[in-house]
Amino acid sequence: MSILKFLKKLNTLKKSLFSIFYFLVIINSFAQEMVLSDQAEISIITVDPGYDQLYDTFGHSAIRVTDRKLRIDQAYNYGIFNFETPNFNLKFAQGKLLYELAAYPFSYFYRSYKEENRGIREQVLNLTQPEKQAFFNFLQNNAKPENKSYLYDFFYDNCATRLKDVAENVLQEKVVFNNNYTEGKNETLRSLIHQYAQKKHPWGTFGIDLALGSVIDKKATTKDYLFLPDNIFNTYAESTVNGKPIVKKTNVLFKAKDKKTKGFQLFTPLIVFSLIALLVIFITYRDYKQRKRSKVLDFTLFFTTGLIGLVVLLLWFATDHSATKDNYNFLWAFMPNVFVAFVLLKKEVPNWVKKYILLLLVLLALTVVLWILKIQIFSLAIIPLLLMLAVRYWFLYKDHNSTTHP
């Protein structure tokens, strides 16, 4: 998540400084097993959502191990990945990118988020000395080169969900995780995303709604809530170990300064697409009056929607992302439009195009039906797009052979 920004900043430093930091990470990863003192503490760290980048929007989580006697103060961060990974972009797109657990001085972790003015909270766990040692041993072993990598999943295996997994691995039946904060709620994964991203990043949210399918529109289970660091915080706050509250103490390590909230945003997807829709409907009306067809407009609409549909289908069938399945955006962004776009550049349009246009109108209607039935919740920004396409398709269906073609 937000560690992306931290790593990007590190990449801009001089090579010598980066090498020193990398050396520290390696040393920590290979640290020999040591016995913690009676002053050791294990903590859950929650970083507030960021404001500047979409990947910061959902917050961040990590584990902290401190021991004043041994002068240990480590962050164990499951949100690391290597920008130098071969075929990085392709693996990221396919959902095959490996993330890593990195152990490094907590001061680096703290400083990076303080500079971003993001609040940092700490939940000190109520563990026995053997349990603290077991936590530490598990993390040290997990940070070894042969163990540190895992296949990231935004919803079900990320920097936040790993923190619950670690506790269950270490404490086993001693820990009971409660999720009472979810009671009475009727959220979906999509609505949870919207709560964090919609106002701050309307274009990013539109992209998410376009890329993710109907699988995230089912009622969220208690497990589904845990992809958000804030909910990992809430879960630990309500849970027990050995029959006692698992959180011994909560500290605010850094309180963010007041941030200026974004005011009214003019160029949101809904506004931009509404303006485009009005323009297309105006051109269609003019074409109808003048008995002509604007071939460039038709090519642009068909090629663009077809290209979007192609991306949707690739995310559905050609990747391992769990949330891109069953994505019915392909109904209005119909992939074959890519090829039909070139047919519409011709002066005379074949007769079969009329039947194809009728199919497109049916698919638009089906999109609306799925939306009403809440089988998939689409972005509100596609409403003007659906209206625009319906008007243009109807024009082509009624007049495709009776118009002139400039």
C-beta of residue 266 within 8 angstroms of C-beta of residue 316: no
Contact 386, 364 (CB under 8 A): yes
Q: For position 34, what pLDDT does the model report?
A: 87
pLDDT at 52 (0 to 100): 81
Class in CATH terms, 3-185+224-254: alpha beta
Task: Give the separation between CA 132 and CA 174, rounded to whole angstroms.
Answer: 13
Which residue stretches of the chain have pLDDT < 50? 1-27, 29-31, 402-406
What is the C-alpha to C-alpha distance for residues 200 and 244, in angstroms, rounded to an integer? 39
- Residue 290's Cβ-side half-sphere holds a number of Cα atoms within 13 Å equal to 12
Q: What pLDDT shows up at residue 2?
A: 40
| Ranges in the chain annotated CATH 3.90.1720 | 3-185+224-254
pLDDT at residue 51 in the model: 83
Q: What is this structure's pTM?
A: 0.85
CA 353/CA 337 separation, integer angstroms = 11
* pLDDT score of 88: 61
Cα 200 to Cα 148, 159, 368: the distances in Å are: 33, 22, 27
Beta bridge mates, 43 = 64, 124
Contact call for residues 301 and 284 (beta carbons, < 8 A)? no
C-alpha distances (whole Å) from 114 to each of 4, 252, 255 are 15, 12, 9
Strand ranges in 178-281 using DSSP code E only, listed in sequence order: 240-241, 244-245, 247-254
**Calculated CA dihedral for residues 345, 351, 353, 355, nearest 10 degrees:** 170
pLDDT of residue 33: 67
**What is the structure's pLDDT at 94?**
67
pLDDT recorded at residue 11: 45
C-alpha 292/C-alpha 160 separation (Å) is: 57
Encode 43-57: b = buried (16+ Cβ within 10 Å), e = exposed: bbbbbbbbbebbbbb
Strand bridging mode 240-241 / 244-245: antiparallel
Sequence-distant (6+) residues with CB within 8 A of 164 are 177, 226, 232, 235
320 touches 94 (CB < 8 A): yes
